Amino acid sequence: MRLRVEFTTEPFDLDEAPAHAVVAREIVTGAELDAVDVGPFGNTAEGDADRVLNAVDALLRRSLAAGATRVSLQVNVVADGDGGGAAGDDRGGAADGEGDAT
């Protein structure tokens, strides 16, 4: 199974990256995940379920220890690249948060 994690850490600092954001970035870039995209307002990564879950565990523990006061994250099951959808996932485009009515 493949998973995609999207996350942010707070508090934000637009002048320089806070320690908790640096730690989070180091974790996802060092976790041998695919399609890692880190940015100032959100981060995503995909990979094998075990690697993603291990990275999420480390991300939560280490970014909170480094001063994060809030970590927002979402984990989605994604297609494994063969053109088929994830098993049991019939949510269409809303799976990535786009088009949500909430």
Residues in the chain: 102
What count of other Cβ atoms lies within 10 Å of the Cβ of residue 4? 19
Instruction: For residues 37-66, give the mean pLDDT.
Output: 93
Query: What contacts 67, CB < 8 A, 6 or more positions away?
Result: 18, 19, 20
Q: Looking at this protein, which amino acid is placed at residue 99?
A: G
The answer on pLDDT for 46 being more than 80 is yes
Q: Which amino acid is at 94?
A: A
Q: Show the CA angle centred on residue 16, arms to residues 45 and 96, nearest 5°.
A: 25
Average pLDDT over residues 7-36: 91
Report the pLDDT averaged over residues 22-51. Answer: 91
Which residue is it, tokens 């996802």?
A: 28
